Structure 1
Amino acid sequence: MEVATTTASTGGTVENDSNQQTAPSSIPWPPIIVAGSVLVGLLLAYIAPLPWPDADGALRGLGGLIVLAALGIDLWGYRTFRPHQTTLRPDRAASALVTAGPFRYSRNPFYVGNVMLVVGLGLAFANWWLVLLGPVALVLMDRLAARPEEKHLEDAFGAEYLAYKARVGRWL
């Protein structure tokens, strides 16, 4: 994911002047991980369904709330990126460093939202496989998307990114 935004210290925008910047990855891993987790979870639920003990539907309701929260995080992140005219695509180079909005709390709010979506869908649709695949999606997001992106941002924004990284956790 590209990151672009206002820095907390100056209120200005930190932009990457290099047009030659390479993307953190040539593959947009996050949507592939989410779609793959959902497809695998649906397939496993069909082949080997796991019993669902939630007779009163409380877990399903919780799942619905988690899905709404995940979508809210994504919308908030999108709205934070939009004024800076940076792409959300994780296979493109960052043009600015975003530290406002949900990025004040997590360096990877979109990825947090993505994993919440997988788990929330599992709870909402009574699919334990999706719930179990949530941690797998998190590890894959970390290894395939977040870590390469951090290296990219460090190369692109240097001290500004390192200061941001010291203030804000990778996930929460």
Structure 2
Amino acid sequence: MRSNAANKPANQKARIRLLQFGAALFLVGFMAIQPVFSHDGSDTIECIGVSLVLLCVAGRAWSSLYIGDKKNRELVTAGPYSMTRNPLYFFSMLGAVGIGLFAGSLVLAGLLGCLTYLILTTTAVKEAIHLDSLFGESYRDYEGRTPEFWPRPMLYSDAEQVTFSPDALKRTVLDGLLFIVALPAIELLEVVKESGYMSAGFTLL
């Protein structure tokens, strides 16, 4: 028997605050470095970064169409949830990697991806315990056939009909806009550094 404390849902607000703090810390730290690919010739790296950020926002919206306001009320196993138990988290990680690439640094992309992965998978473990307490054998069967984080496309299956919550979709899209806002913020910081008001301390691949 798991304890009552373990059966409580993960603290989503704390997770969001942690990610927001990490984003702010990244922007401050970005002022101290000069990414190798932030100069001419970085178009390919930047385009890949933007593509990952857009994929993040679209993927999160797609996942929200299925989970909506059903979270902790209904076990959703169709659409993106048929390939991974945590598609929202997976797409968020892609967005974090995309931001690092857009900034022009492979190292930053790797660090942001790894940190986001660690934070979100830790949350996913807590959520799995809670879902097991809610749905029992149904969840354990779903858990046994579906990866926790990395999608397995060959498992994809869809529902005959999907109902979604407009409010939940709107919240997810607004949350995803934070990834979009990071892009012009990075560009602005680049302008500040190039103006000479602040100089980077070291170069980072």
Deviation of 1:53 (Å): 6.4
1:44 paired to 2:29: yes
Identify the residue that residue 86 of structure 1 maps to in structure 2: 70
Runs of 4+ more than 4 Å apart: 127-130
- Relative distance call for 1:62 and 1:119 in structure 2 (3 A) is same
After superposition, where does 1:69-84 map in structure 2 within 5 Å?
69-82=55-68
- Relative distance call for 1:164 and 1:86 in structure 2 (3 A) is same
Which of 32, 51, 73 is the aligned partner of 2:17? 32
Partner secondary structure for residue 148 of structure 2: coil
State TM-score, norm by structure 2. 0.62
Partner secondary structure for residue 119 of structure 2: helix
Q: Deviations over 1:79-119 (max 9, x none)?
A: 1123xx425xxxxxx11111111101110111111111111
- Could you tell me how far apart the structure 2 residues matched to 1:64 and 1:27 are? 26
Partner amino acid, structure 2, of 1:141: L
Deviation of 1:128 (Å): 5.2
Which of 134, 137, 145 is the aligned partner of 1:156? 134
Normalized per residue, the structure richer in helix is: 2
Partner amino acid, structure 2, of 1:166: G
- Relative distance call for 1:106 and 1:146 in structure 2 (3 A) is same
1:108 paired to 2:108: no
In structure 2, list runs of 5 or more residues that go unmatched: 1-6, 151-205
Deviation of 1:73 (Å): 1.1
Contact 2:57/2:91 (8 A) holds in 1: yes
- Could you tell me how far apart the structure 2 residues matched to 1:150 and 1:102 are? 17
Partner secondary structure for residue 170 of structure 1: coil
Sequence identity percentage: 23
Identify the residue that residue 17 of structure 1 maps to in structure 2: none
Identify the residue that residue 75 of structure 2 maps to in structure 1: 97
Contact 1:24/1:149 (8 A) holds in 2: yes
Q: CA RMSD in A?
A: 2.1
Based on CA coordinates, which of the two structures has the bigger radius of gyration? 2
State TM-score, norm by structure 1. 0.73
| Aligned positions, number | 142
- Could you tell me how far apart the structure 2 residues matched to 1:146 and 1:26 are? 11
Deviation of 1:40 (Å): 1.8
- Could you tell me how far apart the structure 2 residues matched to 1:43 and 1:59 are? 22
